[in-house]
Chain A
Amino acid sequence: MATKASRSAARIMMAPAVVLLLGWMLVPLLMTLWFSFRNYLPLRGGDLGWAGFDNYVRFVSSSAFWPSIQATLVIVGSVLVITLVFGILLALLLDQPMWGQGIVRILVIAPFFVMPTVSALVWKNMFMDPVNGLFAHLWRFFGADPISWLSDASMPSIVMIVSWQWLPFATLILLTAVQSLDGEQLEAAEMDGATKLKRFYFIILPHLGRAITIVILIQTIFLLAIFAEIFVTTGGAFGTRTLSYLIFQRVLESQNIGLGSAGGVYAIILANIVAIFLMRIVGKNLDN
């Protein structure tokens, strides 16, 4: 529904965004792909020539590879489960009539605005410090020995920090979805004799389906790339080295660009698999 003139104007106006993003995507991607086939060690002689698939093989066969995949999946999976379960409960709670709903919502949403470096540092020191942390005080109060959270329970600690950051996002989206549920549907179900639990299971949960998918997919994208939380807390030690962090170490710490780039290509493939699912679902939502 437009004229040739407006269509060509549209093409021109879209060009900067398209060209910029194309460049941002292709240039580094091609460079990464190139490096991944090179023996490239900037501190030990630079580019030492063609490496074939050596880097790919070495990256996968390194003892750190599978643990890093496992760490990634554990973090992503646990955070998703925690944020979804608590997010749904919180959304249902916040949807109830109460006094000061606005303020409660502000309290709940707050962690989303805290920069990851800050939340990681605050949790690491003021809560999880085995001597002076608030948890240590709490454990001692109950007569238990304080836990060295980030070394002895490193994974649960990271999961907890990240879940705290993402719970607001999940809650907010689920709350929006809960609020859009037609009250008459629930009343009809009640008239039909459905108990509270059944109403939740047969009406509320299916209604939340779309919101849950959005939460899962958007969070997955961001969680696959978490960096600051690990960088600041464990530095990848104690089994918390995710795939992203492993690549980061290969590139910046061991300065093995070829190896790191091969890892990068793996990460890109992994992200793309996730992205395809996301695009399908978001794409469907575009139509209405």
Chain B
Amino acid sequence: MGRITLDKITKKFGDVEVIPPLDLTINDGEFVVFVGPSGCGKSTLLRLIAGLEDVSGGEIRIDGSDATMVPPAKRGLAMVFQSYALYPHMTVRKNIAFPLRMAGMDPAEQDRRITAAADVLNLTDYLDRRPGQLSGGQRQRVAIGRAIVREPAAFLFDEPLSNLDAALRVGMRLEISELHKRLKTTMIYVTHDQVEAMTMADKIVVLRAGHIEQVGSPLELYRAPRNLFVAGFIGSPKMNLIDGPAAAPYQCKTIGIRPEHIAVSAESGDWKGTVGVSEHLGSDTFFHVKCDDISEPLTVRVGGEVDVHYGDTIWLRPDAAQIHRFDDAGLRIA
């Protein structure tokens, strides 16, 4: 079981309120990702749930019982740190055994669980090594192993992939997702990388300055961002946000159109522009177009290879059904 409820929790450091009153429910078995730019309070929120920081107000309930004042050791949650935080003086086996040892578990049962975890995480051959002798990916697995042997109510991940190189990150992302599918345990995952959020989450919580901007499934956020911040944050490349005369025909302050929802033509369209830099990825081509009447260059995504050059004149036509409209306050107009 691992249902976590945050009820009007707040956090102040001195006089600075980093988390204003915040409500959130995380259901049992859910994979929830906290995402937001650095300094948005996502790690602080995770540490509040972990019990590594006190809340300044409000209540945290784990499986219905009040855990607000329960020390981290007693909350039944496991955490994987950004730095992995392995015990450098212990072997992999002892690292993984540590939480079991602290719980005073019978050694035979400890062994059984360690063997099982090592098997799942491909660590069997490394059990007698020390963390210093392992690669980044292996250390990451040990940190996960240490978390899963406890069979916690929920896993907390604090930017666990940010110290890995790009190739490894994709692999670990899949491994963690697969682990979640198999264990069906609640996972709370903090990242600043919206790609990780989109690919892994059942539910994304977008945070900015301690506020929840929107909660929803990845596709809900993609299809219907609640405000300009979420619109700009979710999706890669970023949504084009257009102010001024080009937005006027849509009766709103700002319109948003994703790069993949703009059609390109050499002859006709709604907006005429000049091609700037284009990025050819093979599978896709991104190009940046400076349009008349639009202050910022627009990013356009076209599938496959396209023969476009710097300085070419081009016509763009946004897919009307995919246009997002925002009012003066930056909120979505339905």
A19 contacts chain B at the CB level, 8 A cutoff:
no
Nearest B residue to A2 via CB reads B53
Q: How far is the CB of B87 from chain A (nearest CB, A)?
A: 19
Nearest A residue to B53 via CB reads A3
Chain A interface residue count, CB cutoff 8 Å, equals: 5
Rounded to whole angstroms, the CA-CA distance of A188 and B144 in the bound complex is 48
Counting contact residues on chain B (CB < 8 A from A), the size range is: under 10
Q: How far is the CB of B56 from chain A (nearest CB, A)?
A: 10
A286 contacts chain B at the CB level, 8 A cutoff:
no
Asked if B71 and A5 sit within 8 Å, CB to CB, the answer is yes
Contact with A along B49-78 (1 / 0, CB 8 A): 001111000000000000000010000000
A4 contacts chain B at the CB level, 8 A cutoff:
yes
- B52 / chain A contacts, CB cutoff of 8 Å: 2-3
Interface centre among A1, A2, A3 (most CB of B within 10 A): A3
Rounded to whole angstroms, the CA-CA distance of A1 and B54 in the bound complex is 9
Q: How far is the CB of B81 from chain A (nearest CB, A)?
A: 14
- B53 / chain A contacts, CB cutoff of 8 Å: 1-3
Contact with B along A1-33 (1 / 0, CB 8 A): 111110000000000000000000000000000
Rounded to whole angstroms, the CA-CA distance of A3 and B60 in the bound complex is 15
Rounded to whole angstroms, the CA-CA distance of A2 and B51 in the bound complex is 9
Rounded to whole angstroms, the CA-CA distance of A2 and B52 in the bound complex is 6
- A2 / chain B contacts, CB cutoff of 8 Å: 52-53
Q: How far is the CB of A94 from chain B (nearest CB, A)?
A: 32
Rounded to whole angstroms, the CA-CA distance of A110 and B171 in the bound complex is 56
Nearest A residue to B51 via CB reads A3
Nearest B residue to A7 via CB reads B54
- A1 / chain B contacts, CB cutoff of 8 Å: 53
11 contacts between A and B (CB under 8 A): A1-B53, A2-B52, A2-B53, A3-B51, A3-B52, A3-B53, A3-B54, A3-B71, A4-B54, A5-B54, A5-B71
Binding site for B on A (CB under 8 A): 1-5
Binding site for A on B (CB under 8 A): 51-54, 71
Sorted nearest first, the 7 A-B pairs with minimum C-beta distance are: A3-B54, A4-B54, A5-B71, A3-B53, A3-B52, A3-B51, A1-B53
Beyond A3-B52, A3-B54, A5-B71, 6 additional pairs, beta carbon < 8 A = A1-B53, A2-B52, A3-B53, A3-B71, A4-B54, A5-B54
